[in-house]
A and B are shown apart, each in its own frame.
Chain A
Amino acid sequence: MLQLRNQAQAEDAVQETLMAAIRGAKDFAGKSSVRTWLVGILKHKIIDLIRRASRERPLDLPDAETSLEDFDALYGEDGHYASMPAEWGDPEAALSQRRFFETLEGCLEGLPKNTARVFMMREVMGIETDEICKELAITATNCWVLLYRARMSLRACLEERWFAIGA
């Protein structure tokens, strides 16, 4: 849903995943859990759908999403941080907690839609940046700016909603 932002498309992706899984069942060698295997197929289906959608309808990228002016408040006159980014302790421990991923999901949902989409393509699905630019027909610079905005926003959000409260 985060990726496709469209209930019908999301349902199609799941359906196509199950079809592909049934067809490919003999290739499932039991090396990974069934869930990991299905999520793997689903990722490919989502990429396919994004490709199809972006061919039909070019990305609508508002200036606000590619500007960095709103981040200026983070820095003082000298270009250094106005307030020090917090120490996160042992963040690896969070990776085994379901609630952490729910928090991450909440933070992703709070991002502007293109910013979230590019971050998901890059970091969740592991697509190379040049391919993302090509698929979405945006410049490399815009791609990097969107990813930078996503990372800065997500780190601030996780700091506030997870690490600061010692969850």
Chain B
Amino acid sequence: MKLKLTCKEAGRLISEGLDRKLSLPQRTALRLHLAICDACTRIHLQFQFLRRAASRYPGPERDGGES
């Protein structure tokens, strides 16, 4: 695993990191990439948000429960 990732590679690893434990070199490479890349940092936060949103699906009560 090379240390310098493209955003395309980083996106795969961000996603896979939510589904399995990445190897140490993968985690290191991803951390380095996220430290310098705003785009992938956003992707990372958005994937985590998707997880929170999905776990609350179907969301608030359909009738009258809106807050």
Interface residues of A (CB under 8 A from B): 35, 39, 71-72, 74-75, 78-81, 84-88, 91-92, 94-98, 100-102, 104-105, 119-120, 122-124, 126, 129, 140, 143-144, 147-148, 151-152, 154-155, 158
- Is B28 an interface residue when CB atoms closer than 8 A count as contact? no
**Chain A residues near B38 (CB-CB < 8 A):** 84
B55 touches A123 (CB 8 A): yes
Report A-chain residues with C-beta under 8 Å of the C-beta of B11. Answer: 148, 152
Q: Which residue of A lies closest to B41 (CB)?
A: A85
Contact B6 A78 (CB under 8 A): yes
Asked if B67 and A75 sit within 8 Å, CB to CB, the answer is no
How far apart are B1's CB and chain A's nearest CB, in angstroms? 15
Beta-carbon nearest neighbor of B47 in chain A: A151
- Of B39, B53, B61, the contact of A94 (CB 8 Å cutoff): B53
From A97, A100, A101, A120, name the one whose CB has the most chain B CB atoms within 10 angstroms: A101
Which residue of B6, B50, B52, B61 contacts A155 across the interface (Cβ within 8 Å)?
B50
Task: Give 4 closest A-B pairs by Cβ, nearest first.
Answer: A79-B6, A101-B59, A123-B54, A148-B15
Tell yes or no: B2 within 8 A of A by CB: no
Q: In whole angstroms, what is the CA distance A151 to B6 when docked?
A: 18
- Residue among A78, A143, A144, A151 facing the most chain B CB atoms (10 A cut-off): A151
Instruction: Report the minimal beta-carbon distance from B23 to chain A, rounded to whole angstroms.
Output: 14
Q: Is the CB of B6 within 8 A of A144?
A: no
Report the nearest B residue to A39, measured CB to CB. Answer: B58
Mark contacts of B26-67 with chain A using CB atoms, 8 A cut-off: 1 yes-contact digit, 0 otherwise.
Answer: 000000000001110011011101111111111111100111
Q: In whole angstroms, how far apart are the Cα atoms of A100 and B49 in the complex? A: 13
What's the nearest-Cβ distance from chain B to residue A13, in Å?
14
